[in-house]
Chain A
């Protein structure tokens, strides 16, 4: 972890969606910090609030969903106090998003070239269309797309899945953002391309101080690429700390469960443990620990509110019995 002033600091973020069964807090009291050049892995199962947290940061929560509480400080400015127009200018330029599903994220009716160039032009980074085009070619080359000049005129459906994913990352990086939110950017890619894309992101981190929030299911990618990891469960951060430390010594039973449900290459005979039970209904929560219905360590006290508490200067856990988790 770099000790510098954080690029992004989120405090007490609560984003809610009205549903037919009542208000659903997709993320509830999320705190996080991210410094320039840092890579934060965000893990958790589907519906744990990973994507919603970062869509809130980008200001892309669609009504009727809304941010109810909290502050999002980016370079010291609270994004929630900015006007819609000011936030728009930051999006793409300062905070970029690479989405999970490239097939639906790229507009089927526009060429890939148009979609890259428009980002460059929207943020005034090129004086002419020709210049924007040249930069688009350069971007496509850097994400490893062969003969990019020709490919600019293609429509998204003419690209393979992996190429689309890389084109989307090229778009996200087009305006040289300072923070990249990558929502499972490599899930659909094969291993070699995945390494290429992740290497590109790593290089930008080192060279330009790009901060990356890597939302993923893939603990392998996190272990390999991220300085810190944040584990989310049912809309809350349950554990946070340096990646190697968290993986070696989880301090929350959910993290331990996640790690135990991975097959191990070193010890192929180790049985895979799945976590029993199901995520609680997010509209029917009580004040207590949200994992306690599935937790092997649950005790009576767990029905009371549990805070995310520091265990050491760089580790936090939302478990009463964090020290006992082995």
Chain B
């Protein structure tokens, strides 16, 4: 919408002396609606896939639901759950011994890759960096959101230092201990404990690693693949375009979550498989946007001029067109990052993601859904963390776009 408002025809509409309302509603909105309709059409398919989580919480006819119903009826801490919780704890302990990721964690060696990746949360493509940064800094909402993201990143990177307890250390005597401010809580476990008596604060901090690592890896890989595929499809047209576009359409036909569940079922759970399962589909969104922008860009005079100067296709795509499509890529990447965090949480919630005892926010929400009535904090606190991070990313990406899109700043 901001781009439409900066166009000549809006200026001309104002020059005609039209009422402000008409300029906005008719001249600007009608043009801004075209991409909006496209997005709506794509998102509808996504929403159908999202139902699964809702179904899981409220009506999954599997193991969780009968047990939860019993809890609700009895309004008592489930004795029956105790045995399974103990078994889970034993299995967790076994997993902890075997998992190489977990063994390496005390020295912080195996996690250095996610840590460095997490240290670069912003994809900054445009060269007048200082200018964009100063514009970004002037936007208070974006700045506040960026600070929240940064706080999460710092927590994730410094998890071994700042987490007060071992995130996998269970103690059934602390089971469902409330947060510090509630009755029965104490400050050594500020956000309380979950169903196995594990410290939620520490799990939240370690879980931020998983969420941010998955988000950055998926978005990074998807952006590279999607941009290259989109450039090639949009620039060469012909059979390349047909191939890429049909693949994109087919992938878009699957509800995201169902698709990811299927892949996870085939590949088996685990951190790297989550990244792969999400990238398989995620690149499609970047690809669609880049293809569309490339189609428009290749008709522009500057591409014609480059061709007239004898530039090859690779040069034209990467040096002429790419800088012009980078800003939508940035926008898509940041918006999708929020979505990927939710997807990782959803997969972990469904038990297909990171395996216990490695903490993931989605798995934490899932852990708590058996105790929603008597211990709301177990699910709610990681849920709020997801909400805060996703909201911050969305707001910050909006701010990034406003600050870095050269088309919004003609002077």
- A17-B411, A122-B22 known; A60 vs B16 contact (CB < 8 Å): no
- A20-B131, A101-B8, A105-B8 known; A91 vs B14 contact (CB < 8 Å): yes
Q: Determine if A90 is an interface residue (Cβ-Cβ < 8 Å).
A: yes
Residues of A75-109 whose CB lies within 8 A of B? 88-93, 96-97, 99, 101, 104-109
- A19-B411, A99-B8, A107-B27 known; A89 vs B22 contact (CB < 8 Å): no
Q: Which of A93, A107, A122 contacts B9 (CB 8 A)?
A: A107
Q: Which of B9, B15, B20 contacts A96 (CB 8 A)?
A: B15
Do residues B11 and A60 form an inter-chain contact, with CB atoms below 8 A?
yes
* Cβ contacts under 8 Å, B181 to chain A: none
* Cβ contacts under 8 Å, A118 to chain B: 16, 18, 22, 26
Q: Determine if A175 is an interface residue (Cβ-Cβ < 8 Å).
A: yes
Docked pose: A60 CA to B15 CA in angstroms: 7
Do residues A105 and B22 form an inter-chain contact, with CB atoms below 8 A?
no
* Cβ contacts under 8 Å, B26 to chain A: 110, 118
Closest residue of chain B to A87 (Cβ to Cβ) is B17
Q: Determine if B7 is an interface residue (Cβ-Cβ < 8 Å).
A: yes
Q: Determine if A25 is an interface residue (Cβ-Cβ < 8 Å).
A: no
Q: Which of B8, B17, B131 contacts A91 (CB 8 A)?
A: B17
- The minimal Cβ–Cβ distance linking A172 to chain B, given in whole angstroms, is 8
Do residues A122 and B14 form an inter-chain contact, with CB atoms below 8 A?
no
Q: Which of B12, B34, B128, B411 contacts A65 (CB 8 A)?
A: B411
Closest residue of chain A to B26 (Cβ to Cβ) is A110
- The minimal Cβ–Cβ distance linking A63 to chain B, given in whole angstroms, is 11
* Cβ contacts under 8 Å, A122 to chain B: 16-19, 22
* Cβ contacts under 8 Å, B11 to chain A: 60, 62, 99, 105
- How many residues in B have their beta carbons less than 8 Å from beta carbons of A? 23
Q: Which of A60, A89, A109 contacts B31 (CB 8 A)?
A: A109
* Cβ contacts under 8 Å, B16 to chain A: 91-92, 96, 118-119, 122, 171, 174-175
- A20-B128, A88-B19 known; A105 vs B12 contact (CB < 8 Å): yes
Closest residue of chain B to A19 (Cβ to Cβ) is B411
Q: Determine if A237 is an interface residue (Cβ-Cβ < 8 Å).
A: no
Do residues B17 and A107 form an inter-chain contact, with CB atoms below 8 A?
no
Docked pose: A110 CA to B27 CA in angstroms: 8
- The minimal Cβ–Cβ distance linking B218 to chain A, given in whole angstroms, is 35
Docked pose: A126 CA to B8 CA in angstroms: 26
Q: Determine if B30 is an interface residue (Cβ-Cβ < 8 Å).
A: yes
Q: Determine if A123 is an interface residue (Cβ-Cβ < 8 Å).
A: yes
* Cβ contacts under 8 Å, A90 to chain B: 17
Q: Determine if B72 is an interface residue (Cβ-Cβ < 8 Å).
A: no
Closest residue of chain A to B29 (Cβ to Cβ) is A109
24 residue pairs bridging A and B, Cβ less than 8 Å apart: A64-B411, A88-B17, A88-B19, A92-B15, A92-B18, A93-B17, A96-B16, A97-B12, A99-B8, A101-B8, A106-B9, A107-B9, A107-B12, A107-B13, A108-B31, A110-B26, A118-B16, A118-B22, A118-B26, A122-B16, A122-B18, A122-B19, A123-B17, A175-B17
Taking A60-B15, A104-B7 as given, write out 4 further A-B residue pairs in contact, using a Cβ cutoff of 8 Å, ordered by the A residue number.
Answer: A99-B12, A119-B18, A122-B18, A174-B16
Residues on A close to B: CB < 8 A? 17-20, 24, 58, 60, 62, 64-65, 88-93, 96-97, 99, 101, 104-110, 118-119, 122-123, 168, 171-172, 174-175
Residues on B close to A: CB < 8 A? 6-9, 11-20, 22, 26-27, 30-31, 34, 128, 131, 411
